[in-house]
Chains A and B, each alone.
Chain A
Amino acid sequence: MSSFISAFKPILVALVVIAGFETAVMAVRRPNDVERSNFLTLGYLRPEVHRLIVNEKLRAFGWSSPDVIQVGDSTGFYGVNSDIVTDQLGGLRYVNLSCCANMGFDGYHAVAHFMLRQNPSIRAVVLYISAFNFVSMDIDGSFAQPIQNSFDSVLSYVMPPSLALREEILKAVYGSARTSSANPELGRKLEFIRHHNGWLAEDDLRLSGKTRDDYWHTQCGPELSIVWRDVDRRLFDKIAGLAALTAGYNAKLVLMVQPLPCPFAGEAFAAVRRGLDRLRSTYPNLVVTPADVFSSLPRDLFSSFPHLRIGSEITNSQRVARAVAQGLGQPLSQSANAPAGPDSTFPIADRNTPLTWGDDRFDQAAWKTDGVSIVRSREGTRFTELKSFGRHSVATRVERIEPNVAYIISAVVKPDPNRAIWLEVSDATQPNDYGRVFFDIDAQTSIRFGDVIDVDIEPLPEGWFRCWFSMRFQGTSIALNVMMARKWSLEYAGDGASSITIRKAALRIGARLRADN
Chain B
Amino acid sequence: MTFNSYIFLFVFLPGVLAVYSFLRETRYVNWFLSAASLVFYGFAGPIYLVPLLFTCVFDYIIGRLIDPDRKNEYRKPLFILSLVAQLGLLATLKYAGWLAGVVNDAAGWFGLAVSLPALALILPPGISFYTFHTISYTADIYRRKFKPHDSLIDYITFVAFFPQLVAGPIARASALLPQLAAKRPPITWAQAESATWLICWGLYKKITLADNLGQLTALIGDRLTPGDVQGGMGLLFAYAFAGQIYCDFSAYTDIARGVAKLFNVELTRNFATPYFATSPSDFWHRWHISLSTWLRDYLYIPLGGERHGRIKTLRNLAITMFLGGLWHGAGIGFVIWGLYHGVLLVAYRVLRIEENIVRFLGKGVGTVVAIVLMFHLVCLSWIFFRATNVQLFPALASIGALLSGRIMEWPLLRDFGYGLLLYGLPLFLTEPLAYRQGKEFVDLYDGWSWPTKTLAYIFVFYGVVMLGARQQSEFIYFRF
Are A38 and B470 in contact (CB-based, < 8 A)?
yes
CB-CB under 8 A for A17 and B458, given A10-B453, A44-B422: yes
Are B469 and A41 in contact (CB-based, < 8 A)?
yes
- Which residues on the A side are within 8 Å of B467 (C-beta)? 170, 173
Other 9 A-B pairs with CB < 8 A, given A41-B470, A174-B422: A4-B189, A11-B196, A14-B461, A18-B458, A38-B470, A45-B219, A46-B215, A146-B470, A162-B465
Q: Which of B206-225 contact A (CB under 8 A)?
A: 212, 215-216, 219
- Asked if B6 lies at the interface with its beta carbon under 8 angstroms from chain A, I say yes
CA–CA, A149 and B457, complex, Å: 25
- Asked if A218 lies at the interface with its beta carbon under 8 angstroms from chain B, I say no
Question: Contact mask B394-430 → A, CB, 8 Å, 1/0?
Answer: 0000000000000000000001001100110000000
- Asked if A43 lies at the interface with its beta carbon under 8 angstroms from chain B, I say yes
Query: Which B residues are within 8 Å of any A CB, using their own CB?
Result: 6, 188-190, 192-193, 196, 212, 215-216, 219, 415, 418-419, 422-423, 450-451, 453-458, 461-462, 465-467, 469-471
- Which residues on the B side are within 8 Å of A339 (C-beta)? none
- Which residues on the A side are within 8 Å of B219 (C-beta)? 45-46
CA–CA, A9 and B450, complex, Å: 7
CA–CA, A163 and B418, complex, Å: 23
Interface of B is mostly: helix
CB-CB under 8 A for A160 and B465, given A3-B189, A41-B471: yes
Query: CB within 8 A of B465: which of A6, A45, A166, A178?
Result: A166
Q: Which 10 residue pairs spanning A and B have beta carbons closest together?
A: A10-B453, A7-B189, A14-B457, A41-B470, A10-B454, A7-B193, A7-B190, A13-B454, A14-B454, A4-B189
Are B216 and A11 in contact (CB-based, < 8 A)?
no
* Chain A minimum-CB-distance residue to B423: A44
Are B415 and A45 in contact (CB-based, < 8 A)?
yes
- Asked if A228 lies at the interface with its beta carbon under 8 angstroms from chain B, I say no
* Chain B minimum-CB-distance residue to A12: B454
CB-CB under 8 A for A18 and B461, given A10-B453, A40-B470: yes
Query: CB within 8 A of A163: which of B6, B450, B454, B465?
Result: B465
- Asked if A42 lies at the interface with its beta carbon under 8 angstroms from chain B, I say yes
CA–CA, A173 and B196, complex, Å: 29
- Asked if A169 lies at the interface with its beta carbon under 8 angstroms from chain B, I say yes
- Asked if A155 lies at the interface with its beta carbon under 8 angstroms from chain B, I say yes
The range of chain A's interface size is: 20 to 34
Are B462 and A162 in contact (CB-based, < 8 A)?
yes
Are A10 and B189 in contact (CB-based, < 8 A)?
no
Query: Which A residues are within 8 Å of any B CB, using their own CB?
Result: 3-4, 6-11, 13-14, 17-18, 38, 40-46, 146, 149, 155, 160, 162-163, 165-166, 169-170, 173-175, 178
The smallest beta-carbon distance between A191 and chain B, in angstroms, is 24
- Which residues on the A side are within 8 Å of B216 (C-beta)? 44-45
- Which residues on the A side are within 8 Å of B422 (C-beta)? 44, 173-174
The smallest beta-carbon distance between B174 and chain A, in angstroms, is 31
- Which residues on the A side are within 8 Å of B212 (C-beta)? 43-44
CA–CA, A503 and B454, complex, Å: 73
CA–CA, A13 and B457, complex, Å: 9
The smallest beta-carbon distance between A8 and chain B, in angstroms, is 5
The smallest beta-carbon distance between B247 and chain A, in angstroms, is 15
Are B189 and A8 in contact (CB-based, < 8 A)?
yes
- Which residues on the B side are within 8 Å of A170 (C-beta)? 466-467
- Which residues on the B side are within 8 Å of A163 (C-beta)? 465
- Which residues on the A side are within 8 Å of B189 (C-beta)? 3-4, 6-8
CA–CA, A173 and B425, complex, Å: 13
CA–CA, A197 and B450, complex, Å: 53
Query: CB within 8 A of B6: which of A44, A155, A169, A173?
Result: A155
CA–CA, A90 and B454, complex, Å: 60
CA–CA, A202 and B149, complex, Å: 69
- Which residues on the A side are within 8 Å of B469 (C-beta)? 41, 43
- 6 A-B pairs with CB atoms under 8 Å apart are A3-B189, A10-B453, A17-B458, A44-B422, A46-B215, A170-B467
CA–CA, A286 and B471, complex, Å: 36
Are B471 and A10 in contact (CB-based, < 8 A)?
no
The smallest beta-carbon distance between A4 and chain B, in angstroms, is 5
- Which residues on the A side are within 8 Å of B6 (C-beta)? 149, 155
CA–CA, A10 and B451, complex, Å: 7
CB-CB under 8 A for A7 and B415, given A13-B454, A169-B466, A173-B467: no
CB-CB under 8 A for A44 and B419, given A163-B465, A169-B466: yes
- Which residues on the A side are within 8 Å of B453 (C-beta)? 10
CB-CB under 8 A for A43 and B193, given A10-B453, A155-B6, A166-B465: no
- Which residues on the A side are within 8 Å of B465 (C-beta)? 160, 162-163, 166
- Which residues on the B side are within 8 Å of A43 (C-beta)? 212, 215, 469-471
The smallest beta-carbon distance between A439 and chain B, in angstroms, is 25
- Which residues on the A side are within 8 Å of B423 (C-beta)? 44
The smallest beta-carbon distance between A183 and chain B, in angstroms, is 15
Are A175 and B454 in contact (CB-based, < 8 A)?
no
The smallest beta-carbon distance between A374 and chain B, in angstroms, is 33
- Which residues on the B side are within 8 Å of A13 (C-beta)? 450-451, 454
Interface centre among A40, A41, A44, A166 (most CB of B within 10 A): A44
